[in-house]
Structures are given as structure tokens and as C-alpha cells.
Amino acid sequence: MEENNNEKPKKEKNILDDILANATASTKKYEETNAGLETKKCNGCGAARPDDTDLQYCDFCGNQFY
Amino acid sequence: MSFSETQNRWNGFLKKIEDRFKEVLEKTEAALPLLFEATDFETTTFNNAWQGIYSQASDLIYKIDDVWYEKVGETFEDAGIEFNSNQFIQERNKGFYTKFDLEQKLKSYEVKIFAEAAKMLVKKVKDTLSEDFCCTQCQAKLPVKDNFFRSYYSTCEYCQTVNTFEPGTKARNVEHFAIHALGEEAALEHYLQYEQLKFQNYLEDREVNGKDHLTMQYRKYVEAYLKKRIEIIPDYGDRYEKDLEAKIALVTNY
């Protein structure tokens, strides 16, 4: 009788534990991006893109950004 | 088996289902927020874990219908209760009521658990976005929006350099995960009421609540849901009418 009482909670605990363990183990993990700032810089002259300028070409040397 | 024996067993079975359901969901309510924190607010693992638990809870709910149609109804007939008599319908409806009650509770648990996780995520993101972010060229401090969760250009007012602000995966998840959960929480009461009206129709097998009444109730749910989203991301205000129309069309067109 005592053995049965001991077994029951163990079994019930496992149902939820199994689901959580399975979700943790089987979910594919992707690399996270952190919050931050970046600036597109020209490969030719290294200038950063100033406000109100062409996104495609560098405003200083005319080099193509993309 | 006599009528009262059958009735007792049927009542006992329904009680067991309710108790087991409550036990699973109460444990889940305590465990899932811990999992969310332990995985550093990783929403996919959280969703997958909930799907497993939802499936367990749904299986319990479906057992009520299965057991009635496979065994209990027939046992009542064997005990001398005529099929579709008042007494027969009364016993069958006990199952319907329990099933509906558990479905409503499952929805409530789902909304509550997701909303709690969403609040944790939003707090974490707001903390991150309140940190200092500096221009990549001159290191001057740049203002960062705390209610916009996609990347955007931010021009430095000192050197005029265009910086691209990336809010990060967690912040993006506010839009993909948290606002839906918080919208659902704000609108839950209306949704449960909508389901209640549909259940009355189902139980009486006729339109006790007409289509207009149902649509009006569903509209309350959608309005509360969308207004909460706008509260978190004000940009959604521009498309409120369009979203409202589209969401209502889901129930009126099908």
C-alpha cells in the first residue's frame, strides 16, 4: 500500500516533466540577434551614409553600396 | 446495472476528468513561466511545451464524449431509460456542460499563461530598450523608441550619420508573440461570452441566439483585442478599421 502511494505522485510528475523536457530538447534553437546599431559604410572610402543621401551610391566617392 | 448505479459512475467519471484537468493545468500554470525564464524568453520552446499540454488537456475533454457515446448512453438505456427521454437528455447534457466548462477553462488558462509570459517578455524588452545606444560614428547618444519593435533608421543629430537600429530578437517577439497574448487577455471575457452564446444554440439545437447577436458579441471581442494591440504598438491604430472588418469577416463569411 505504501509502495503504491509512493509510485503515484512520481508517475503524475513525469507527464508534465516529459512534455517540458521534450519541448526543450526537440525545439531547434536559432541564434538570437541583440539590440544594437549599425551603419552602412562605403567599401571604397569608408564613409558612413549621411542623412538624406542616396542609399545605392556613396555620396562622397560614388562607389556602389549594394 | 441500475439507473442510480449508472448515474453514480457517470457523475464519478465526470468528476475525475475535472479533477485531473485541474491538476494538469494548475501545475502547468506554475511550470511554464519558469520554463520561459529558464530558456531566456525563447518563444518557440514555450509554444511547443504548451502544445503538448494543450493536447493532453484536450484528450481529457474529448474522453467525455467518447465515453458517453461508446458506453454510458447505452448503459442508461439498458437500465431502462428511454433514448432521448428527458432523463436521458439530462444525463447526456451533464457531459455537454462539463465538456463546455472545461473548454472555457482551457481557453482561460491558455490566455492567462501566455499573457503572463508576454508581460515578462515586454518588461525584459523595455529594460533593454531603455539602455543607452550610441551613434556608430561619433558615439553620441541616439534616441530609441520603446514602442516600436522592428528595425528602423535613426539619424544622429550631431554627425548626421544614418544608423540602423536593430531591436533584437526578443523585441521582435513582442510583435510576434506578446501583443497577441495581451490582446487575447484584454478580450477574454468577450470571447468566453461569445462561446457561451454558441453553446446555448448547440445545447438547444436551435438558434436561441441569432447570427446578429453572435456577430455583435464577436465584434466586442475583436474590438477589445485590437485596442489592446494599439495600446502597445500605436502604429496599428492606422489600420484599426481594416483589421476589425477582416477579423469579423472570419465569422460572418464562413
pLDDT in tens, B30-65: 999 999 999 999 999 999 999 999 999 999 999 999
Query: What pLDDT is recorded for position B247?
Result: 95
Query: What pLDDT is recorded for position A11?
Result: 52
Query: What pLDDT is recorded for position A14?
Result: 65
Question: Residue B224 — very low, low, confident or very high, per pLDDT cuts 50/70/90?
Answer: very high
pLDDT in tens, B148-186: 999 999 999 999 999 999 999 999 999 999 999 999 999
Q: Does residue B96 share a domain with residue B1?
A: yes
Q: Which residues pair with B134 in a beta bridge?
A: B141
Q: Which residues of B touch A53 (CB under 8 A)?
A: 162
Q: Is the sign of the CA dihedral B74, B77, B82, B87 positive or negative?
A: negative
The percentage of chain B sitting over the pLDDT mark of 70, rounded to a whole number, equals: 100
pLDDT in tens, B65-112: 999 999 999 999 999 999 999 999 999 999 999 999 999 999 999 999
Q: Does residue B72 share a domain with residue B11?
A: yes
Q: Does residue B123 share a domain with residue B2?
A: yes
Closest chain B residue to A48, measured at CA:
B161
Averaged pLDDT score across all residues of chain B: 95
Contact between chains at B24 and A32 (C-beta distance less than 8 A):
no
Q: Does residue B64 share a domain with residue B8?
A: yes
Q: Which residues of B touch A24 (CB under 8 A)?
A: 35, 39, 45, 49
Closest chain B residue to A32, measured at CA:
B169
User: Which among B150, B167, B184 is the end of a domain?
Assistant: B167
Query: What pLDDT is recorded for position A2?
Result: 42
Q: Does residue B200 share a domain with residue B88?
A: no
- Domain residues for the domain of B123 are 1-129
Q: Which residues of B touch A (CB under 8 A)?
A: 23-24, 27-28, 31, 35, 39-40, 42, 44-46, 48-49, 51-53, 56, 128-129, 131, 133-137, 142, 154-155, 159-171
User: Which among B109, B129, B149 is the end of a domain?
Assistant: B129
User: What total number of domains does chain B contain?
Assistant: 3
Whether the per-residue pLDDT at A1 is higher than 60: the answer is: no
Q: Which residues of B touch A11 (CB under 8 A)?
A: none
Q: Which residues of A touch B135 (CB under 8 A)?
A: 37, 39
Q: Does residue B233 share a domain with residue B160?
A: no
Orientation of helix A2-26 relative to helix B43-67, angle to 10°: 130
**CATH classification of the domain holding B86:** 1.10.132
Q: Does residue B233 share a domain with residue B186?
A: yes
Query: What pLDDT is recorded for position A8?
Result: 54
Asked whether the beta carbons of B226 and B183 are under 8 A apart, the reply is yes
- Weakest mean pLDDT among A39-43, B54-58, B138-142, B226-230: A39-43
B28: nearest Cα among A29, A28, A15: A15
Q: Does residue B121 share a domain with residue B2?
A: yes
Q: Does residue B176 share a domain with residue B79?
A: no
Query: What pLDDT is recorded for position B79?
Result: 94
Q: Does residue B143 share a domain with residue B118?
A: no
Which whole number is the average pLDDT over B238-253? 94
Q: Does residue B112 share a domain with residue B5?
A: yes
pLDDT in tens, A5-64: 455 555 555 678 889 999 999 888 888 899 999 988 888 898 888 888 777 888 889 888
Query: What pLDDT is recorded for position B157?
Result: 93
If you search the block for the grid coordinates 539590440, which residue do you land on?
A35
Please give the grid coordinates belonging to residue B225: 483585442
Whether the per-residue pLDDT at B239 is higher than 90: the answer is: yes
Per-position b or e across A23-39, b if 16+ CB within 10 A of its CB? bbeebeeeeeeebebeb
Whether the per-residue pLDDT at A3 is higher than 50: the answer is: no
Q: Does residue B6 share a domain with residue B124?
A: yes
Contact between chains at A35 and B44 (C-beta distance less than 8 A):
no
Q: Which residues of A touch B109 (CB under 8 A)?
A: none
User: Which among B142, B167, B192 is the end of a domain?
Assistant: B167
Q: Which residues of A touch B (CB under 8 A)?
A: 12, 15-16, 19-20, 22-24, 26-30, 32-40, 48-51, 53
pTM: 0.88
